[in-house]
Amino acid sequence: MEPIVIVGGDAAGLSAASKFKREHPERDVVVFEKGEYVSYAACGMPYYIKGAVEEFDDLLQVPPEKLIEDRDIDLRRYHEVVAIDTDAHEVTVDGPDGEFSQPYDQLLIATGARAIEPPFEGMELDGVHTLHSLDSAKAVHDAVRDESPSAVAIVGGGYVGIEMAEAFDAHDVEVHLFEMLPHVLAPFGEMVAEHVEEHLREVGVELHLETAVDGFSGTDGRLDGILAGDERYDVDLALVGVGVAPNAELASEAGIDVGETGAIATDEYGRTSADDVFAAGDCAESRHVVTGAPDYVPLALTANRAGRAIGQTMAGDPTPVGDIAGTAAVKAFDLEAARTGTIDEDEAREAGFDPVSITIKSRSRAHYYPGAEPIHITMVGDRDSNRVLGAAMVGREGVAKRIDTVAAAVHTETTVGELEYFDLSYAPPFSPTWDPVLVAAKVLNGKLD
């Protein structure tokens, strides 16, 4: 029998490989990875640049030797799959010794995503960076350490932009953050964004909202400024973090369906339109648990969970990859921001709901216990079904994990009334008697009635 072949050696790919090998240790599993690094913590890269993660190797989760020797996975780094023939059940691989064909029994495409590089003038200048691979993280880390920049421009106010503002600030660098939209962290909603923006200004980040970047200027091939909003700002390092794009070209060129999001279309088991071919991770679509529509939210848990499920399906036990709610948290200096489900009322209406939203202010601990901090929550419910559709939160503590309670309610189609009566834990150092989530549900339920 031909081997299981996996394209991509990070979260989804290696989760699938490891799960399949546990179920069928006698079968061959070949993992092709075009780069040097496998099984790494991409989400930790800003904290490595900041200095909170001291060693580069700390970002490497499972050494290649362990994958090969302990898990008996045929891992081949520096091997790029350049074509897939779904009729012949084989892939074409470009390796150190040239091209060759590799037959497969079943195939998983886990090619991930790449940082979007806008067509800005000056993107090629030394000092202009993106951040998605470990190589890029090391390049930014070394530039901060070796070049001691005095001013940095960040383009994009999403996860990467906010986390990198904190990372650069830790090195006493003047930070300019440019966002073409009215607010940072657009998926988190206006309430969260405004609190984060206020805090960013308090800590000294120069925000340039509703400001489109035109390009970069340089001298002798080296960055010396950013051009934005009819102004020029002196900077000696720039990070472009405007999002990622799925690496779906390999699948598309093989005739495999790509969805409207630009990622590879899959069913509930991660199967693509081609027989015996699966896709997972940052290159693949998922189904949104609220809207029921295909969505593209590239996050670490989604990739790991889908990869493991596909490994089990390949092994003969069909296992759904699971729906997504877009649950996410981000650290913005001293603030925590989090979101789950559908919080945009227009999106909810498009999905057939009659959304109602409320915003409340509560506290992270009992009011009399030292250190209690405000928590602001926006929660959205459906007037017709009373179902919890989503929530967004912001505060200095107790936010990043509280969102998980709402995520659980979203996944189980819990009603707002039911959430109001969840038996959540209480102790003065951790929560008021009525947890902020319960307060939000209570207020929202009253409005839905």
In tens, the pLDDT along 46-61 reads 999 999 999 999 999 8
Q: How far is residue 45 from each of residues 205, 336, 337, measured CA to CA in Å? A: 20, 18, 19
3-state secondary structure (DSSP) of residue 270: coil
pLDDT of residue 371: 95
141, two tokens? 């880390």
Tens digit of each residue's pLDDT (9 = 90 or more) over 48-105:
999 999 999 999 988 888 888 888 999 999 999 999 999 999 999 999 999 999 999 9
The topology under which CATH files domain 334-448 is FAD/NAD(P)-binding domain (3.50.50)
Active site residues: 43
Kindly report the CATH number that applies to the domain delimited by 4-114+245-314.
3.50.50.60
DSSP classification of residue 439 = H
CATH of domain 117-242: 3.50.50.60
Report, as an integer, the average pLDDT of 432-447. 97
Beta bridge partners of 215: 121, 227
Give the pair of three-digit tokens for residue 199. Answer: 């805090």
Mean pLDDT of the chain: 96
The residue ranges of every structural domain in the chain are 4-114+245-314, 117-242, 334-448
pLDDT tens string 254-284:
999 999 999 999 999 999 999 999 999 999 9
Tens of pLDDT, residue by residue over 22-41, are 999 999 999 999 999 998 99
DSSP class per residue in 352-380: T--EEEEEEEEESS-TTSTT--EEEEEEE
pLDDT digits (tens, 9 = 90+) for 321-353: 999 999 999 999 999 999 999 999 999 999 999
Biggest CA-to-CA distance, the chain: 70
- State whether residue 407 is helix, strand or coil: helix
What confidence category does residue 377 fall into, taking pLDDT thresholds of 50, 70 and 90? very high
**Structure tokens belonging to residue 207:** 């925000």
Per-residue pLDDT at 403 = 98
* Helix axes 189-202 and 159-169, enclosed angle (nearest 10): 10
DSSP codes of every residue in 63-109: -HHHHHHTS--EEEET-EEEEEETTTTEEEEEETTEEEEEE-SEEEE
User: Computed over its alpha carbons, how large is the radius of gyration of the chain?
Assistant: 23
- What's the pTM? 0.95
DSSP state of 288: B
Predicted local distance difference test score (pLDDT) of residue 62: 83
Quick check: do 4-114+245-314 and 117-242 share a fold?
yes
How far apart (Å, rounded) are the C-alpha atoms in residues 53 and 441? 38
